Structure 1
Amino acid sequence: MELYLIRHGIAQERTANIKDEERVLTKEGRQKTEKISQRLVNLGLHFDLIVTSSLARARQTAEILSAAGLSSQIEESHHLTPDGNIDNWVKQWLEPRNYAPNTRLAVVGHEPNLSQWAEILLWGEVKAGLVLKKAGMIGIKLPEIGSPLGCSQMFWLTQPKYLL
């Protein structure tokens, strides 16, 4: 299975007037995410499913990916919010679905979670070496369900500027 970890696009800055979960993409964030989505389509990428955090900025990013034609299916998972836990996500969301080996799953979420999750999937521990930029993507080939964490293979790490 191919897992694509995608960070949400550029969003409103944190302020006392806006709750974190309500921060939306800026105009620039929407435009860049749309361009990146179109570039991914042009590269022939397609996801079987996009799973997103319920926070507004992640949900909007997932909707832009879907509107570009990268997937017609979007689902939300509370495990992808900033306080999410990879072990819980794998055990309660990923494993029970028993995906086919050729499945392409996109996950739209937040930092530092996505970089940390990638490191756990790749090396079995957080090494604080990966940084996922806004609207950036990490592609990871997952081994068979039930394999220990740290047995995956990274095949894609792209900064957004290279897709614009």
Structure 2
Amino acid sequence: MQLYLIRHGIATEAEADTNDTERTLTEKGRQKTRQVAKQLRDKELHFDLILTSPLIRARETATILKEIGLSSQIEEFTSLSPDGDIHTWINWLEEWRKNTTIKGYLALVGHQPDLGNWAETLVWGETKGKLVLKKAGIIGLTLPETGNPVGESQLFLLTSPKWFL
């Protein structure tokens, strides 16, 4: 199974009077995200499912991926919120694998440093704080077909959006 960790696009700046959960993508963020999505589509990538953080900027990013044709399914997943728990997702993955015949491509849309930390945990079994994912950037991992993916996954892609533009 291939897992793509996708950071949300460029969002409005955090301000004292703005709730972080309500920050939206900027026009530049929407444009870059569309360009990255089109490049992925041109490489004939299609996600069986996109799980997204419930924060607006991540949901908007996931919606763009869907609109470009990268998936027909989006689901919110609370653990993809900032400081979310990877183990909740691993439990979800185990159940999903039991209940679906789909074994192909899964995308998670979320936030940094969480996505970088999740990738490190899946590859090395621990967080090292070294993988940095730019806005609209992508980490690609190959997960083992069965069992716990922690420390057993392989990194095949780490790219910023400029490589797609």
Whether TM-score is above 0.5 comes out as: yes
Instruction: Indicate the residue corresponding to 1:137 in structure 2.
Output: 138
AA of the residue aligned to 1:76: E
Structure 2 distance, partners of 1:117, 1:20, is 21
Instruction: Indicate the residue corresponding to 1:33 in structure 2.
Output: 33
Gaps of 5+ in 2: none
- Using the size of structure 1 for normalisation, the TM-score is 0.95
In the TM superposition, 1:118-157 aligns within 5 A as 118-147=119-148, 149-157=150-158
Instruction: Indicate the residue corresponding to 1:160 in structure 2.
Output: 161
> CA deviation digits over 1:49-74, x for unaligned, max 9?
11000000000000000000000100
SS of the equivalent of 1:51 reads: strand
Gaps of 5+ in 1: none
Instruction: Indicate the residue corresponding to 2:107 in structure 1.
Output: 106
Instruction: Indicate the residue corresponding to 2:90 in structure 1.
Output: 90
Q: What is the percent sequence identity of the aligned residues?
A: 58
- Alignment root-mean-square deviation, CA: 1.2
Instruction: Indicate the residue corresponding to 2:77 in structure 1.
Output: 77
> CA deviation digits over 1:91-114, x for unaligned, max 9?
1x2111115574200000001000
> CA deviation digits over 1:120-139, x for unaligned, max 9?
00000111221000000001
Misfit runs of 4+, over 2 Å: 99-102, 144-148
Number of residue equivalences = 163
Structure 1 distance, partners of 2:149, 2:136, is 28
Per-residue deviation at 1:156? 1.2
AA of the residue aligned to 1:3: L
Contact 2:2 2:140 in 1 (8 A): yes
Structure 2 distance, partners of 1:147, 1:72, is 27
